[in-house]
């Protein structure tokens, strides 16, 4: 069955026609004719669909026959058409029906499949515990993949190019691609209705800001949190208890003790690096036992400053980051910056409190004793605590009882000593060794009480010194530094003092070794806590001990009936001392000791009286005995050591002369060498010698800080011959040591001067080796050799030097030229810079200095005046030559003579009337004035007589003066010049006097006067000029030179051409000058415009 489309039909064709026509080829089932009509109903197209049962061959035939054939006025067009949609619909429905029938079968298959799979152990397409790649048993095309998932093996058809082939896709081979998807997460969708604009969140800042709520702006706070905290603490504490501020000193001591405790903890228990912790701890510790607000305030301020410093630094750094820093020319390069900012920070931080400073400074050199004995600090702290408490009590008691009113420091120091002794004595019963640390701590406490900034703990110093010593010698700078430090210390350097001499020498290795050994032995002994004590221990203990005993004995004495004398106790001590050491004591030393001890006793007497603590005499005696015993033990040990040292010294001495003595020829002075020898020997012998020296010095000059060299040498000489004397007297070493410390840093005589320096260098070259010790003998030889060489070389050297000198000069000249040419501006700039740099504000006017005269304003005025005066002068010079002045002088000079003469003339009663008239007046005036014949006084009297008139006349005179000038010519000047020689020491008063006379404006008279004066002058200098002036002519006189010279001016003095030449020259000059001036003016104008 086919459906055909037949087009191109005429409008008149009916279904029947079509059926007939196509009926030939097949069975026509249905015909459908359609006619397309336009809007008017006129058909323009007619076609039809027919359903026909037809075979393919018939269809072909039909097509060939009927297609494009003409039928009833139209051309047929036959095509196969698609099936009618109704049919198709029906078909589809039918197939759907069929499918519905078939489906259950498919489901069955699937179920079967699942069942079979489940049989094979597959549950929900997953097979647990199966290795990927294994086939599912019973199912050929199913494979287990990742996660136990069962997947089918796919057979994919691949059409590449013309060939078609199938590809097996085994999912187990690509199992790494498989990813597990969590369905639960995917399926969570929040519905739109639940979406909100609200942001839920807490009250924290961020969520608030997210919500758009910003807190009101607050200016950034300073970092004061810590301070605040402390303050709040403080407030609480202050509220809680009223500060028992009895004495600031005590408070200080207490606090310092606390600090020391803290510090010790940090030193002993904790690693030395954490200063911060220690510092943080200190304020807390003060919180525990605050005694005053001041202390806390101090600390707070200190911290604040440190904070501020930190902040500042940070700011600076930031600034540096941000901004470019511009630096002046005078910026100094600081080289010691390499410590880094951290270091600086710490320093800044630490600078606040001295105690903190101690704490911070200490750790680098932790005293090994404390470190080695972990128990010690605890004991110490305990000790301190106890002592603190006691001190409080005692100080309280003392303050009440101390009527003498000694210095606070002394007071504070004494109780410590006392208590230490007490402590010692108490402890000695139980543990005699504990006295050592206690004494040390005493020292430290004292130092801290004094608040010395210098390191006071002798131990650390001692360590440092030794570390220095082991390297080699101490340089001069080191010595100075040490001297400064030691001078800062008032207390005895107990531990170090005995062995300090060793570093001073530092040349013999044995000594250093011995010293170090001692040091180490110290530690060991402390660890073992045995009674064996080395020097350090000895020296450290006896001082407080003795004081204590002495004090105690005194107390005892006081407690006991007053009849027992002091001397007994002291003498007994001395006896002890003398008896105890079995070694040979030199008498002198013992005497000195006695002296010293006596002095000490005296000092003790001077010190304020103390309250007798515990008057139990028995206990004290026990203590005494104990002390004696200890002292004896110490003595013995010292002795042994001295022996050792003596042996060492002897050995070294044996070596030294071998190296130095006979072999070298000595050219220098013997005395010098001897001295040097002596000193060398002394050096080599032992340390004991030096203290000995100082001891002897002590004996000679008590408390003389500055000991002259001579004295020292004397002391040496004194000590020297008796070498065995060197033993003993060690107990009093500490006394000597103080001075020793002072003298130790003086430059030794053998090292003085240039030669000394050389010697030092020589010695240092061979270091500590005793055998190669160089002394001045070597030096002398070398020097001589050098001198010889020098003398030989001198000539050549001088030549070379000359050459070099020349070269240098040349270089300098070139440099000058270079700088002058290229760097002119540069140098000027620097000069300006230097001027600008001179700080005006820092300048103080010092009238005594001549340079500062420039700052006086007066000079400026004078300058201006001088300028004005110069200008005036110039003008005057242009208009009227010096004539005017000379007129002054001449006239005045003459007047003197005139006065003299007037009297004569008056007496004589002769001369011209006119002149007389004038003179008479004068004379009268003179007579009125007092008629004194002496001129100066007369003139002064004249002045005093009528000053008003004079003033008037002065004004009048000027007029006359100018007239005079204009009228009088050069001739007159000549006249006056001649007379000016005669002019005496002119005073202006004389001028005034002259004005008097000239007030009449009668120049003739004047002239005549003058002439007469000239006549009357007794001097032999009357010249030929006088003679012509006797005529009565008004303007001229006979033989007037003006008359002769005047006419000449009207004649040409030279040829016209010459004149012209002159004029031309002049003109060119003038022109040049004018140009120059013009240029200058223009330049000035320009510069002014610019500026």
Tell me: does residue 326 bind another protein (CB under 8 A). Answer: yes
Stretch that binds another protein, among 271-279, 357-365, 827-835, 1076-1084 (CB under 8 A): 827-835
What number of CA atoms fall less than 13 Å from residue 38's CA on the CB side? 3
> In the bound complex, what is the minimum distance in angstroms from residue 325's beta carbon to another protein?
4
Determine which residue in the list 1, 89, 90, 814 makes contact with another protein, applying CB under 8 A. Answer: 814
Smallest separation, CB 816 to another protein (Å): 9
* Contact with another protein (CB under 8 A) among 123, 788, 801, 921: 801
**836 interacts with another protein by CB under 8 A:** no
Nearest-angstrom CA–CA distance, 593 and 698: 10
The interface region with another protein, picked from 97-105, 111-119, 308-316, 798-806 by CB under 8 A, is 798-806
Tell me the sheet residues that pair with 160: 163
Q: Is 985 in the site for another protein (CB under 8 A)?
A: no
Residue (811 or 1023) nearer to another protein, CB:
811
CB of 835 to another protein, least distance (A): 14
Shortest distance, position 338 Cβ to another protein, whole Å: 6
Cβ-in-10-Å burial (0-12, 13-18, 19+) of 448 comes to buried
Helix-helix angle 709-719:670-685, to 10 degrees: 70
Helix residue ranges, H only, 930-968: 935-945, 947-967
If one asks whether residue 662 binds another protein (CB under 8 A), the answer comes out as no
**Of the ranges 381-389, 504-512, 807-815, 921-929, which one interacts with another protein (CB under 8 A)?**
807-815
- Give the DSSP H or E segment for 48: strand 43-53
Q: Which residue lies nearer to another protein by CB, 244 or 820?
A: 820
Residue 810 touching another protein (CB under 8 A) = yes
The residue (of 177 and 335) whose beta carbon lies closer to another protein is: 335
Name the one range near another protein by CB under 8 A: 100-108, 319-327, 361-369, 483-491: 319-327
Region from 212-220, 320-328, 515-523, 710-718 binding another protein, contact rule CB under 8 A: 320-328
Q: Which residue has the tokens 């053998």?
A: 750
Residue 333 interacts with another protein (CB under 8 A): yes or no: yes
Under the binding rule (CB under 8 A), the answer on residue 126 touching another protein is no
CB 4 within 8 A of CB 23: no
CB nearer another protein, residue 193 or residue 822: 822
What's the rounded Cα separation, in Å, for the pair 713 and 732?
21
List 454, 476, 647, 815, residue binding another protein (CB under 8 A): 815
Closer Cβ to another protein, 135 or 345, answer by number: 345
- Is residue 759 within 8 A of residue 779, CB to CB? The reply is yes
Using CB under 8 A as the binding rule, whether residue 795 contacts another protein is answered as no
Q: Which long-range contacts (CB under 8 A, 24 or more apart) does 467-475 make?
A: 468/503, 469/502, 469/503, 469/506, 469/512, 469/515, 470/512, 470/516, 472/506, 472/764, 472/767, 472/768, 473/506, 473/507, 473/764, 474/503, 474/504, 474/506
Please, what is the end-to-end C-alpha distance for the chain in angstroms?
119
Does 315 bind another protein (CB under 8 A)? Our answer is no
Task: Kindly state the smallest distance separating residue 813's Cβ from another protein, in Å.
Answer: 9
Q: What is each CA distance from 463 to 433, 495, 506, in whole angstroms?
A: 21, 10, 15
Give the binding-site size for another protein (rule: CB under 8 A): 35
Q: Cα(237)–Cα(941) distance, rounded to whole angstroms?
A: 93
Least distance from C-beta 345 to another protein, angstroms? 15
Binding mask 84-113 for another protein (x = CB under 8 A): ------------------------------
The upper half-sphere exposure of residue 78, i.e. CA atoms within 13 Å in the direction of its Cβ, equals 23
746 CB burial (10 A radius; 0-12, 13-18, 19+): middle
Min separation Cβ 315 and another protein, Å: 16
Q: Which residues contact 1049 (CB under 8 A, 6 or more apart)?
A: none
The nearer residue to another protein, 225 or 757, going by C-beta atoms, is 757
Q: Is 827 in the site for another protein (CB under 8 A)?
A: yes
Distance of closest approach, residue 333 Cβ to another protein, in angstroms: 5
Measured between alpha carbons, how far is 312 from 919 in angstroms, rounded to an integer? 92
User: Contacting another protein (CB under 8 A), which of 823, 824, 955, 1072?
Assistant: 823
Could you give the CA distance from residue 643 to residue 812 in angstroms, rounded to a whole number? 68
- What is the nearest approach in angstroms of another protein to the Cβ of residue 790? 14
Q: Single out the residue of 123, 591, 807, 1004 in contact with another protein (rule: CB under 8 A).
A: 807
Q: Which of 38, 39, 98, 325 is the binder for another protein (CB under 8 A)?
A: 325
Pairing of strands 43-53, 142-144: unpaired
Q: Does 754 bind another protein (CB under 8 A)?
A: no
Name the minimum Å distance from CB 836 to another protein: 11
Q: How far is the CB of 665 from another protein (least distance, A)?
A: 30
826 forms part of the interface with another protein (CB under 8 A): yes
CA distances from 1040 to 650, 880, 881, 884, 975 (A): 118, 21, 21, 21, 11
Would you count residue 830 as binding another protein (CB under 8 A)? yes
Q: Does 207 bind another protein (CB under 8 A)?
A: no
Reduce the secondary structure of 530-551 to three states and give it as a string: CCCCCHHHHHHCHHHHHHHHHH
Among 92, 769, 787, 800, binds another protein (CB under 8 A): 800
Interface with another protein, residue 861, by CB under 8 A: no
Contact 8, 77 (CB under 8 A): yes
Closest CA to 29 of 2, 58, 65, 56: 2
Residues 286-305 that bind another protein (CB under 8 A): none
Q: State yes or no: residue 837 binds another protein (CB under 8 A).
A: no
Choose between 829 and 1066: whose C-beta lies nearer to another protein. 829
- Backbone φ, ψ for residue 688 (5° rounding): -60, -30
**Residue 806: CB minimum distance to another protein, A:** 10
Considering the complex, state which of residue 322 and residue 603 has its C-beta at the smaller distance from another protein. 322
* d(C-alpha 558, C-alpha 425), whole Å: 19
| 65: contact with another protein by CB under 8 A | no
Is residue 908 a contact point for another protein (CB under 8 A)?
Answer: no
Per CB under 8 A, does 817 bind another protein?
A: yes
Residue-wise DSSP of 21-74: HHHTTSEEEEEEEEEEE-TTS-EEEEEEEEEEE--HHHHHHHHHHHTT-EETTE
Q: Other C-beta atoms within 10 Å of 23: how many? A: 11
Nearer to another protein, 761 or 818 (CB): 818
CB 758 within 8 A of CB 779: yes
Is residue 324 a contact residue for another protein (CB under 8 A)?
yes
**Beta-bridge mates of residue 28:** 52
Q: If phi over 0 gives left and psi between -120 and 50 gives alpha, with beta otherwise, what is residue 452?
A: beta
Q: Which is nearer to another protein, 193 or 323 (CB)?
A: 323
Which string of b and e fits 123-152 if b means at least 16 CB within 10 Å? Answer: eeeebeebebeebbeebeebbbbbebbbbe
In angstroms, the CA 343 to CA 340 distance is 6
Minimum separation from the CB atom of position 329 to another protein (A)? 6
Cβ-based neighbour number of residue 208 at 10 Å: 15
Q: Is 334 in the site for another protein (CB under 8 A)?
A: yes
Rounded Cα distance, 761 and 756, in Å: 9
Site for another protein in 137-176 (CB under 8 A): none
Q: 317 or 1001, CB closer to another protein?
A: 317
- Under the binding rule (CB under 8 A), the answer on residue 819 touching another protein is yes
Q: Are 423 and 386 in contact (CB under 8 A)?
A: yes
Interacting residue ranges for another protein, rule: CB under 8 A? 320-321, 324-329, 331, 333-335, 337-338, 800-801, 804-805, 807-808, 810-812, 814-815, 817-819, 822-823, 826-827, 829-830, 833
């Amino acid at each position: 069955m086919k459906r055909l489309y037949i087009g191109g039909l005429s409008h008149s064709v009916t279904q029947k026609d079509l059926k007939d026509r196509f009926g030939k080829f097949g069975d026509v089932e249905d015909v459908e004719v359609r006619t397309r009509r336009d809007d008017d109903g006129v058909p323009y197209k007619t076609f039809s669909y027919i359903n026909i049962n037809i075979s393919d061959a018939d269809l072909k035939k039909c097509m060939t026959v009927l297609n494009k054939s003409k039928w009833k006025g139209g051309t047929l067009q036959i095509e196969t058409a698609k099936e009618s949609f109704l049919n198709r619909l029906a078909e589809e429905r039918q197939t759907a029906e069929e499918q519905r029938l078939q489906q259950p079968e498919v489901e069955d298959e699937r179920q079967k499949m699942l069942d079979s799979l489940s049989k094979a152990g597959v549950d929900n397409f997953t097979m647990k515990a199966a290795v990927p790649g294994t086939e599912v048993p019973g199912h050929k095309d199913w494979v287990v993949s990742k996660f136990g998932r069962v997947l089918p093996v796919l057979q994919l058809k691949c059409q590449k190019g013309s060939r078609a082939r199938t590809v097996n896709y085994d999912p187990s081979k690509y199992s790494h691609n498989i990813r597990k998807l969590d369905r639960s997460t995917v399926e969570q969708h929040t519905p739109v209705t639940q979406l909100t604009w609200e942001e839920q969140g807490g009250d924290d800042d961020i969520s608030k800001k997210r919500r758009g709520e910003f807190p009101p702006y607050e200016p950034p706070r300073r970092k004061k949190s810590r301070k605040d905290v402390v303050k709040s603490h403080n407030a609480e504490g202050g509220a809680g208890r009223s500060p028992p501020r009895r004495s600031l000193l005590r408070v200080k001591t207490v606090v310092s003790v606390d600090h020391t405790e803290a510090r010790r903890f940090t030193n002993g228990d904790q690693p030395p690096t954490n200063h911060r912790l220690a510092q943080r701890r200190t304020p807390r510790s003060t919180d525990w036992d605050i005694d005053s607000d001041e202390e806390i305030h101090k600390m707070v301020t200190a911290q604040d400053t440190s904070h501020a410093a930190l902040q500042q630094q940070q700011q600076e750094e930031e600034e540096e980051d941000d901004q470019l820093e511009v630096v002046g020319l005078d910026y100094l390069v600081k080289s010691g910056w390499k410590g880094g900012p951290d270091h600086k920070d710490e320093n800044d931080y630490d600078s606040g409190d001295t105690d903190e400073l101690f704490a911070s400074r200490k750790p680098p050199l932790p005293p090994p004793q404390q470190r080695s004995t972990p128990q010690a600090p605890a004991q110490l702290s305990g000790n301190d605590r106890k002592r603190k408490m006691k001190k409080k009590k005692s100080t309280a008691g003392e303050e009440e009882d101390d009527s003498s009113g000694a210095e606070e420091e002394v007071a504070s120091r004494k109780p410590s000593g006392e208590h230490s002794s007490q402590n010692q004595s108490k402890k000695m019963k139980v543990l005699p060794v504990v006295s050592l640390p206690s004494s040390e701590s005493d020292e430290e406490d004292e130092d801290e009480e004094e608040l010395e900034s210098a390191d006071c703990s002798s131990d650390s110093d001692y360590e440092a010194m030794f570390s220095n010593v082991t390297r080699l010698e101490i340089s001069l700078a080191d010595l100075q530094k040490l001297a400064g430090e030691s001078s800062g210390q008032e207390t005895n350097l107990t531990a170090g003092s005995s062995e300090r001499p060793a570093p001073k020498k530092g040349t013999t290795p044995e000594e250093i070794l011995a010293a170090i050994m001692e040091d180490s032995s110290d530690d060991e002994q402390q660890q073992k806590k045995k009674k064996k004590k080395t020097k350090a221990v000895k020296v450290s203990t006896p001082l407080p001990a003795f004081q204590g005993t002495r004090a105690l004995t005194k107390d005892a004495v006081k407690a006991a009936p007053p009849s027992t004398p002091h001397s007994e106790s002291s003498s007994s001590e001395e006896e002890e001392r003398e008896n105890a050491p079995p070694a040979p004591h030199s008498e002198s030393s013992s005497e000195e000791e006695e002296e010293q001890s006596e002095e000490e006793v005296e000092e003790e007497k001077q010190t304020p009286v103390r309250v007798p603590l515990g008057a139990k005499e028995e206990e004290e005696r026990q203590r005494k005995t104990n002390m004696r015993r200890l002292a004896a033990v110490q003595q013995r040990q010292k002795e042994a050591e001295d022996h050792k040292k003596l042996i060492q010294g002897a050995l070294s001495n044996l070596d030294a002369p071998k190296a130095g003595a006979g072999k070298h020829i000595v050219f220098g002075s013997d005395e010098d060498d001897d001295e040097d020898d002596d000193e060398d020997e002394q050096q080599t012998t032992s340390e004991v010698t030096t203290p000995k020296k100082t001891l002897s010095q002590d004996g000679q000059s008590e408390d003389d800080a500055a000991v002259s060299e001579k004295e020292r040498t004397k002391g040496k000489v004194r000590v020297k011959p008796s070498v065995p004397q060197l033993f003993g007297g060690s107990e009093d070493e500490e006394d000597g040591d103080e001075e020793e410390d002072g003298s130790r840093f003086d430059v030794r005589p053998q090292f003085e001067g240039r030669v000394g320096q050389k010697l030092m260098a020589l010695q240092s070259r061979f270091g500590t080796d005793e055998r190669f010790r160089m002394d001045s003998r070597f030096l002398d030889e070398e020097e001589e050799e050098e001198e010889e060489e020098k003398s030989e070389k001198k000539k050549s050297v001088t030549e070379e030097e000359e050459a070099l000198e020349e070269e240098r000069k040349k270089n300098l000249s070139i440099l000058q030229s270079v700088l002058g040419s290229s760097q002119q501006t540069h140098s000027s700039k620097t000069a300006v810079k230097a001027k600008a740099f001179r700080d005006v504000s820092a300048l103080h006017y010092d009238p005594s200095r001549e340079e500062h005269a420039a700052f006086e304003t007066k000079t400026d005025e004078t300058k201006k005046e001088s300028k004005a005066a110069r200008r005036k002068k110039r003008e005057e010079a242009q208009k009227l030559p010096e004539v005017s002045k000379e007129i002054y002088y001449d006239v005045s000079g003459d007047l003197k003579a005139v006065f003299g003469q007037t009297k004569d003339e008056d007496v004589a009663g002769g001369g011209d009337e006119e002149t007389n008239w004038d003179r008479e007046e004068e004379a009268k005036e003179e007579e009125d004035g007092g008629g004194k014949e002496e001129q100066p006084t007369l003139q002064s009297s004249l002045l005093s007589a009528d000053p008003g008139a004079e003033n008037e006349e002065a004004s009048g005179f000027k007029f006359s003066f100018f007239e005079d000038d204009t009228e009088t010519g050069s001739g007159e000047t000549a006249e006056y010049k001649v007379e000016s020689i005669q002019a005496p020491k002119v005073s202006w008063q004389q001028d005034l006097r002259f004005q008097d006379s000239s007030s009449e404006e009668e120049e003739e008279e004047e002239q005549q006067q003058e002439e007469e004066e000239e006549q009357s002058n007794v001097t032999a200098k009357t010249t030929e000029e006088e003679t012509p002036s006797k005529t009565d002519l008004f303007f001229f006189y006979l033989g007037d030179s003006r008359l002769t010279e005047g006419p000449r001016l009207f004649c040409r003095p030279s040829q016209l051409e010459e004149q012209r030449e002159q004029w031309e020259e002049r003109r060119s000059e003038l022109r040049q000058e004018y140009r120059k001036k013009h240029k200058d003016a223009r330049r000035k104008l320009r510069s002014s415009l610019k500026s």
